[in-house]
Amino acid sequence: MKISTQTLFGLSILGISISLSHAATISEKTVAKMPNGDNIKEYTLSNKNGMTVKILDVGAVIAQVIVPDHEAKLENVVLGFANPADYATLNKSNFGAVVGRYANRIAKGQFTINDKTYQLPINNGENSLHGGSPTFAQDLWQSKIVKSKQKDTAAVELKYLSPNGQNGFPGNLTTTLVYSLNDANELALHYTAKTDQDTVINLTNHSYFNLAGETSGSVEDQEVQLLASHFTRTDAASIPTGEITPVTDTPMDFRKMKPIGQNIRDQYDQLQNAKGYDHNWVLDNYKPNATQPALAAKAFDPKTKRTLEVYTTQPGIQFFSANGFNGTVIGTSGKAYRATDAFALETQHFPNSPNTPNFPSTLLKKGQTFNQTTIYKLGVK
């Protein structure tokens, strides 16, 4: 049913469908249950161009992004699970989820604030990855439909309280995330967070993209451009050495659009250590304290002509070629996922920043507000 935006914006009622200026729409329904019996809700955002985005309140997951190709064929271009309940129990690869408190790696799971050392779970060799679990990516967020300040835009707000001591992090951290979709095919993610103790924070969305469609196999022929002339070199355990390395004359040079597979098997220590791309690039367009997202990356599929542009206020982006997929995960359409079946473009601060003084700081002090925006813009070339 269609309901006036004046009467129902901000309510989370089963079965609501709200129309915005006869363009963007949003609907809500219960689709599964958490292990403890709580309902999992799905929000469907659609625009006038046929783009549809499905958001779950478990893990703040982007479950599907359905967009047309050059022949107007609609396909889902992100990887995930068919059963929404699986995001709470099986999502070890963080499909579509928000990861935190600290996305990416922290060496030996340790950092120090105000002369006190904190210990995180060790879940990636001898290091901590994505803040441990269960946390942001597997837990249920509070959610509600909200009115966007932007015209012709549908939006949903999700909120998560990470309690003091969760996975070893100090402070009660409250994170609010607003997903919004407009008629320019821009899916915007706006994060804010506050803490009652000094802590570290690094949040990102961990969507895996395949612009040819979720079931189409390897993305090695798809092209990527990263607006970055440097990357953070890592050791064999994917921990940054602290060196910010020029991409010139290396396989890490994506300053011009090139196929993902062009150099992925080159004899280069960084690629050999990670078994492909799994590195942080230092974004040339980053400006500290910027409120307007800057262009960070582009991607293109030559077969379907679909395009992706990524804009962010963050200083880095992790380009990941899904190196660890081995056929054990069955995806949304019943297909097993294998290495290079997708790519991720995770906007972020740099890995291990709390232990690397020359990297941009990830310290969030009591009374401060973390503020970050990322936009995924889909299109057709």
194 to 33, 161, 354: CA distances (angstroms) = 29, 10, 18
174 to 29, 89, 100: CA distances (angstroms) = 25, 23, 12
- pLDDT, tens digit, for every residue of 331-342? 999 999 999 999
Pairing mode of beta strands 204-205, 98-99: antiparallel
Identify the band that residue 150 occupies on the pLDDT scale cut at 50, 70 and 90: confident
- Residue showing tokens 């958001």: 55
Helix (H) or strand (E) run with residue 273 in it: helix 269-274
Q: How many C-beta atoms surround the C-beta of residue 68 within 10 A? A: 19
Determine the pLDDT at residue 12: 31
- pLDDT, tens digit, for every residue of 48-72? 999 999 999 999 999 999 999 999 9
Determine the pLDDT at residue 54: 98
DSSP states along 191-240: EEEEESS-EE-B-EE--EE-TT-TTS---TTSEEEE--SEEEEE-TTS-E
CA dist., res. 331 & res. 215, Å (int): 8
- Furthest-apart CA pair in the chain: how many Å? 61
Mean pLDDT, residues 275-289: 97
Say which residue, 13 or 291, is predicted with more confidence: 291
Residue 266 phi, psi (nearest 5): -65, 155
Where b means 16+ CB within 10 Å and e means fewer, 277-295 reads: bbbbbbbeebeeeeeebeb
- Decide: pTM greater than 0.75: yes
350: DSSP letter: P
Mean pLDDT, residues 137-162: 94
CA dist., res. 343 & res. 224, Å (int): 10
The residues carrying an active-site annotation are 206, 346
- pLDDT, tens digit, for every residue of 89-140? 999 999 999 999 999 999 999 999 999 999 999 999 999 999 988 889 999 9
Where b means 16+ CB within 10 Å and e means fewer, 333-368 reads: eebebebbbbbbbbbbbbbbbbbbeebeebebeeee
Q: Are 91 and 330 in contact (CB under 8 A)?
A: no
Mean pLDDT, residues 73-77: 98
Identify the band that residue 149 occupies on the pLDDT scale cut at 50, 70 and 90: confident
